[in-house]
A and B are shown apart, each in its own frame.
Chain A
Amino acid sequence: MTLPVHLFARAQELAGAAVVSVELPVGATVADLRRALAAAVPALAGFLERSAVAVNHDFADDGRVLGSGDEVAVIPPVSGG
């Protein structure tokens, strides 16, 4: 399945794009997505380790299984307020 991953702030800067598409097998987890994203965008790899991942607008842990309709985003450490 192909999942678009939304990027923000420093993550978007490092990747040079607001969205990066990642190819994953069915049954892939957020951990797999992290690896695939780091491989697809090496410039993002280190920063990704400091970032959370959101699936369908909720923070997701690494064990979360992904589905083809999921909306995924990299959530860097937040600085609102």
Chain B
Amino acid sequence: MSPMIRLTPDPIDYHALTEAVRSPHCGAVALFLGTVRDLTGERVTVFLDYEAYPPMAEKKLAEIEAAVRGRWAVGDVALVHRLGRLAVGDVSVAVAVSAPHRAAAFDACRYAIDALKELVPIWKRENPPDGTGEWVHPSATPVAANPAREAGDASDPPPSSRPG
């Protein structure tokens, strides 16, 4: 895995990622951080556990980077997701994108995190104070359950990864 497109068990050094995507050709850098919240609705979280299916997650991250490059003229892209046990306030994911101008940097960064949240096989378990943690499996739409189907919504995920 590239140092910029990867899973990691370690705290994410988003300053280093931001520096890594900067380049003289780019006038803009957009950075997104996902951080662990203390509340989901009324459920209090003490810590999260993130689990992945690593070979497929890495493949999907690489596909998202390729999709970003196919759609926008970007400089560099960093997509890093942390795994394991995270405390409230920890950074779970970082997306950093550089581009010549800000419109592409913002749009590509937004697209990348939206695509990651839809397509990458990573799951979180929320653990409340009483210790009975639950895996989070959104049940919103058929696409969320089976991304092999075509999506027609505004977030417009990358091309299907289906074979052929």
Contact = CB atoms under 8 A, between A and B. Distances in A.
Interface string B28-46: 0000001000000000000
A76 B56 CA distance: 13
A76 B122 CA distance: 9
Interface string A9-42: 1100100000000000000000000000000000
Interface residues of A, number: 24
B162 to A, nearest CB: 6
Contacts of B147: 52, 59
Contacts of A52: 145-148
A54 interface: yes
Interface in B117-134: 117-125
Interface residues of B, number: 38
Contacts of A69: none
Contacts of A80: 50, 52, 57, 81, 92-93, 116-117, 120-124
Nearest to B55: A57
Nearest to B144: A77
A56 to B, nearest CB: 8
Nearest to B148: A59
B148 A78 contact: no
Contacts of A45: none
A71 to B, nearest CB: 8
Contacts of B163: 55, 58, 60, 64
B138 to A, nearest CB: 5
B119 A9 contact: no
A78 B135 contact: no
9 contacts: A8-B123, A9-B125, A9-B137, A54-B56, A55-B163, A75-B121, A78-B144, A79-B137, A80-B52
Given A52-B145, A80-B57, 7 more contacts: A50-B145, A59-B148, A59-B162, A60-B148, A75-B121, A81-B117, A81-B122
Interface of B: 34, 50-53, 55-57, 59, 81, 92-93, 113, 116-125, 135-139, 144-149, 160-163
